[in-house]
Structure 1
Amino acid sequence: MELNPIIADRWSPRAFDAEATLRPADLTLLLEAARWAPSHGNTQPARFVVGQRGDDTFRRIFDVLRPGNQLWAGRASVLLLGARATADERGPVPNSEYGLGLAVQNLALQAVDLGLVTHQMGGFDHEAAARAFALPEDVVPVVVVAIGKLGDVGILPEELQAREKRPRERKPLSETVFTSTWGTPWTPGADA
C-alpha cells in the first residue's frame, strides 16, 4: 500500500517561478476545491482575499508578511490571505479554524494535481492584514498561501536553498498516534 501521490508530492517550496502566471480557470479551480472542503455543520467558515502578482491586493498581502517571507514570496503568482469566519446567521461558528485548515488543504492538494506548488505562512502581521482589507470583527486572518509554479532553487539566498534541498521528514506514527492511554503508541494490527 502506498500513499496517494497527490499527498506524497505536496510540499512547501519557497522557490517560485517569477515569470509564471496562473490561468483564471486554474485559480478558480483551486478556490472551488477550497469551497468544497468539509466543515462543522456545513458552516463553511473559510474566507479568502486573492492577490495576483502585479496587482494592489498582492502588494498589500505582501506588505504584511514578515521580512523572512518577503525574501521569496513576491515571486509567487498568487498570494492568498486565508481567514476564518467565526460567526454566521446561526451564531458562533464552532471549529472555524479547523474548517479553514481543511479548505486550505483541499486547495493545496488541488494545486499538486494542476502541477502547481503552494507554501502556507503564519509569518505575517495578522492585525495589519485585518486592517489592510477591512475585515469585519468576526473574520480572523490565519494564513497566507503563496501559489505558483516551481522555480529554480538557485534564486534563493543560500540558507533558504539549503532548506529547500533538505529531505522531507515526518514524525513516525509511534510519536503521533496513541491507543489505550496517551503516549502508548498505536501499532498496526495490535489489539486495542
Structure 2
Amino acid sequence: MKNFNISDYRTADYPIDEMFLNRWSPRSFSEQEVDEETLMTVFEASRWAPSAMNKQPWRFIIARTEEDRKKFHSFIMDGNLAWCTKVPAFALVISDTEAGGSHDFDTGSAWGYLALQAMKKGLITHAMGGFYKDKAREVLNIPEQYAIHAVIALGYQDEKEKLVDKLKERELPSDRRPLTETIMEGEFRA
C-alpha cells in the first residue's frame, strides 16, 4: 500500500539487498486475516535464526482470534492501541533465560528473520515495546524463567489515511545513522 519511493527515504552507504531497505514498521494495518500457511511461513523463517549452542531460546505466543487479540489489547499501552486495534495477528516475543546468557541476543535474531520473511510474503510487522510486561505475564500465564521482549503486530498494510492525524505524519520509513557512527575500529570511541 505504500505510495512513495523507498529511495526517497532510505539509501545504503554500501550495496546491500534491497529487502533490508524495504522493511520498515508501518502502523496502518488492514483487518484482512493472514492465512495459516503465510503466517506459519513467517515463523518458520524465525526458526532458522542462529543461536548459541543451538539452544533456540525464542518463543512466540500468538493471537489471531478476536478473543486472543483482546487479551493482547489488555496489556498494550494506549499510544500503541491508537493504531493496532485492527491488527489481525500479534506475537509476543519471549525467551528462555535458562538457555544462557545470549538468550535475548539470539531471540533478536529470530525476530529479524521473522520481519524479513513477513516482508517477502507481502506482510508488514511492527514491534512494540510500549506494553505492560507484568500484565502480559499474568494474562498469558508466562513462567518467570521467560524474559518478555516485544509485541509484534503482523498483517497487511492499509492506507495511511485511515490513521489518526498525528500518526499519518509518521507513516513513512525512517532512515538510519551513517555506518561511520556505528562502527568503531580497534577500540571504543565516543
- Shared fold by TM > 0.5? yes
Distance (whole Å) between structure 2 residues aligned to residue 23 and residue 162 of structure 1: 30
**Code of the aligned partner of 2:180:** S
Name the counterpart of 1:77. Answer: 88
Q: CA deviation at 1:133?
A: 1.0
Distance (whole Å) between structure 2 residues aligned to residue 136 and residue 62 of structure 1: 20
Superposed, 1:133-148 pairs within 5 Å as 133-148=140-155
Name the counterpart of 1:7. Answer: 20
Tell me, yes or no, if structure 1 residue 162 matches structure 2 residue 154.
no
**Structure 1 ranges of 4+ moved more than 6 A:** none
- Secondary structure (helix, strand or coil) at the match of 1:164 reads coil
Q: Deviations over 1:120-153 (max 9, x none)?
A: 0011000000111111110121100000111010
Aligned partners of 1:80 and 1:144 also within 8 Å: yes
Aligned partners of 1:53 and 1:79 also within 8 Å: no
Q: Which blocks of at least 5 consecutive residues in structure 1 are unaligned?
A: 185-192
Q: CA deviation at 1:53?
A: 4.8
Distance (whole Å) between structure 1 residues aligned to residue 68 and residue 84 of structure 2: 14
Q: TM-score, normalization: structure 2?
A: 0.89
Q: TM-score, normalization: structure 1?
A: 0.88
Q: CA deviation at 1:174?
A: 1.3
Name the counterpart of 1:109. Answer: 116
**Could you tell me which of 42, 59, 74 is aligned with 1:30?**
42
Aligned partners of 1:62 and 1:79 also within 8 Å: no
Distance (whole Å) between structure 2 residues aligned to residue 136 and residue 180 of structure 1: 41
Name the counterpart of 1:121. Answer: 128
Give the structure with higher Rg (CA).
1
Q: CA deviation at 1:57?
A: 1.7
Q: Deviations over 1:5-29 (max 9, x none)?
A: 22111000001112x1101001111
Q: CA deviation at 1:2?
A: 2.8
Q: Which has the higher relative contact order, 1 or 2, with Cα contacts under 8 A spaced 6 or more apart? A: 2
RMSD, aligned α-carbons: 1.4
- Secondary structure (helix, strand or coil) at the match of 1:183 reads coil
Tell me, yes or no, if structure 1 residue 17 matches structure 2 residue 17.
no
Q: Which blocks of at least 5 consecutive residues in structure 2 are unaligned?
A: 1-13
- Secondary structure (helix, strand or coil) at the match of 1:168 reads coil
Distance (whole Å) between structure 1 residues aligned to residue 179 and residue 132 of structure 2: 34
Among all aligned residue pairs of Structure 1 and Structure 2, give the percentage whose two residues are the same amino acid.
Answer: 31
